[in-house]
Amino acid sequence: MVYFADGGILVSMAKLEIITLGDPRLRKKCKPIKRFDKRLQQLAEDMVETMRATSGVGLAAPQVGINERLIVVEIPTEGFEDDPQAGKLFVVVNPEVIRARGEKVADDEGCLSIPGYIGEVERYPTATIKGFDVHGRPLRIKAFDYLARIFQHEIDHLDGVLFIDHISEPQKLRRLVQDPETGEWLEEPVVAALA
Residue with smaller CB distance to Zn ion, 111 or 158: 111
Query: Min. distance of Cβ 62 from Zn ion in angstroms?
Result: 9
User: Is the CB of residue 190 less than 8 Å from the CB of residue 117?
Assistant: yes
| Buried b or exposed e, range 6-20, using 16+ CB within 10 angstroms | bbbbeeeebebebbe
Active site annotation includes 45: no
Residue with smaller CB distance to Zn ion, 131 or 154: 154
The site that binds Zn ion (CB under 5 A) totals a number of residues, namely 2
Residue with smaller CB distance to Zn ion, 33 or 155: 155
Of residues 68, 103, 154, 169, which has the active-site annotation?
Answer: 154
Q: Counting contacts by CB under 5 A, is residue 6 touching Zn ion?
A: yes
Residue with smaller CB distance to Zn ion, 11 or 192: 11
Q: Which residue is nearest to Zn ion (CB)?
A: 111
Write the secondary structure of the chain as one string of H (helix), E (strand) and C (coil): CCECCCCECCCCCCCCCCCCCCCHHHHCCCECCCCCCHHHHHHHHHHHHHHHHCCCCEEEHHHHCCCECEEEEECCCCCCCCCCCCCCEEEEEEEEEEEEECCCEEEEECCCCCCCEEEEEEECCEEEEEEECCCCCEEEEEEEHHHHHHHHHHHHHCCCCCHHHHCCCHHHEEEEEECCCCCCEEEEEHHHHHC
Query: Min. distance of Cβ 162 from Zn ion in angstroms?
Result: 7
Query: Min. distance of Cβ 80 from Zn ion in angstroms?
Result: 18
Sites for Zn ion among residues 84-113 (CB under 5 A): 111
Query: Min. distance of Cβ 156 from Zn ion in angstroms?
Result: 8
Interface residues toward Zn ion, by CB under 5 A: 6, 111
Active site residues: 154
